[in-house]
A and B are shown apart, each in its own frame.
Chain A
Amino acid sequence: MKRDLDDILKRALTPNDEPDFRLNRKLLNRAKEREHMTGKNRMAAKIPALALSAALVIGVGSGSVYAAWKYLTPDAVAEEFGDEKLGAVFQNGEEINEVQTYGGYRIALLGIASGDSISEFLPTVNGEVDSDRFYSVVAIVREDGTPMPDTSSGEYGKQPFFISPLMQGYDPACYNAVTMGGGYSATVKDGVEYRLAECTNVEVFADRELYLCVCDGTFYNNGAYLYDEATGKISRNESYTGTNALFRLPIDPAKADKEAAAALLEKVDAWMNGEEETADTETGETGETEQFWRQLTPETIDTCAKPVESTRQTLTPDADGWVTVRGDDGNESGFNVDLVLDTSQIGKIQIVGGSDAGTLDSVEIQTAVIRADGTVEYVVYVPR
């Protein structure tokens, strides 16, 4: 006898995962801290933006470096993302002073930190934990003073930014955060967007000039910077009208390690190859089917698909609203009209389901039209 799917799903999905008491404790502590910080931020907001440069303190040291403006401190930003370990590293660091304004955005480099296992969250790259990492915290505000969109707003991400360390002598188009196991987290507080960006540790290249680029775009923006192949130096493209900040990173040259640098370059090549393989698997046959599903709506169905007349049938709902559909293979399936269809849409085609096996010619779209007499006209469409 057939069992009831709804019953099976309800039983299997009954909420059973309890949050750990430590997690709840951490949450309550964060709520307390946030309450405290909100008070501080209100005061900070009264300080005019022009006071920014005066409020910064210069300082360079090893380990970590951060800025002393009334933005969130880098340790607070790290803790925003639940990384207390990294926050402690920033907290014990020194201060940095660098703000650049390009393309309508004021970019402040708040701090950098690097080292082995200094974060609570270490990524695994190609099966290996990459523990030796470089972190930077950047604040981005609009030059005209309008707030940056909140991460939960639909506007967020419409202006993407790319943040990456770059190394003198290595073409930035090839050697940047994307190819060096990079990633970032973002949050917006009081109209300021904070980014915690990370990638594998670049300190081993400290015997040459090291930079941090912050430009518009999702990936490295070739038009924003110039790479001098003769000297290996990287500079801002002055004629670029978008955002193209470029900071020199104050990293102790004594941290350079040629052997480690060579090993890192090998890794970068491996990561690049690995990523290409991933990209290959992401393209291919599924692309066209996904595109098809994306463009499919009741309004476009007649232009991009055609009905299979042999599947057309008129169904009469039972007392509970269920209809039975006969398949070409003789099998029967059913659906509940009240649950699946918008019953106010009389005479209009509605998509009730669809399936594909990864190729366009395997796509099937189940449609239904509710007639004025209460019956349902069902037909399967396939791509034209």
Chain B
Amino acid sequence: MTNTELERCIRTYGKELYSFCRSLTHSVQEADDLYQDTFLKAMELEQKIDCGQNPKSYLLSVAVRLWKNRRRKYAWRRRICEERVYAQEVSGQEWADEEQSPEEWLLAREEAAAVRQAVERLPERQRVIVLLYYMEELSVAQIAGVVKIPEGTVKSRLYQARKSLQRELEDILYEERFG
């Protein structure tokens, strides 16, 4: 893969991959490392990433594999050192919607932050599935391929996660909406 091809892949998939890494790791530093290593590992494993073949699932599966392995490597470090905690925020969202008042925009932003925090509190094996399903919009079959578990297990984890989230987000689910 040439640098131009890598740049094209970064342009096409960078944002989705980076968002996934941020949500997975909770740490800017670890997300930055995981993001870079994912692209580098993907290049190493498959000399040419053909952007025409939609390599998003492939990149995500490399990221998940690296993260699982990295957690093992850093487990010892974690027990001893405090990790810099990434205070999750809904970045990149600015009030630009003509049809939405600033108050509505602020409420929507707060709601998104609450939802992301609820997702963050999920056990990791459920969180990965939720991120792949709702953030990366992969199908159950694609997720099974990325995480390398049976489709039934993906469904079951998704169900468990949705049930927990339903409980956690009860206030938001029954909240009266604007207008």
Contact = CB atoms under 8 A, between A and B. Distances in A.
A39 interface: no
Contacts of B3: 28, 31-32
A126 B7 CA distance: 41
A13 B18 contact: no
B81 A123 contact: yes
Interface in A1-38: 2-3, 5-6, 8-19, 23-24, 26-28, 30-32, 34
A340 interface: yes
Interface of A: 2-3, 5-6, 8-19, 23-24, 26-28, 30-32, 34, 81-82, 121, 123-127, 130, 151-152, 156-157, 178, 181-186, 218, 271, 275, 278, 333, 335, 339-342, 345, 350-355
B40 A14 contact: no
Number of contact residues on B: which range applies? 35 or more
A181 B80 contact: yes
Nearest to A340: B159
A136 to B, nearest CB: 15
Given A183-B76, A183-B77, A340 B158 contact: yes
A145 B124 CA distance: 37
Contacts of B174: 2-3
* Main DSSP-derived SS at the B contact region: helix
Interface string B11-49: 000111011101100000101110110011101100000
B40 A31 contact: yes
Prevailing SS type, chain A contact patch? mixed
Contacts of B155: 339-342
Contacts of B119: 9, 12-13
Contacts of A14: 135
Contacts of B51: none
A11 B40 contact: no
A6 B151 CA distance: 19
12 contacts: A3-B175, A9-B165, A11-B115, A15-B15, A16-B92, A23-B32, A123-B80, A125-B81, A152-B41, A156-B72, A333-B166, A340-B155
B142 to A, nearest CB: 14
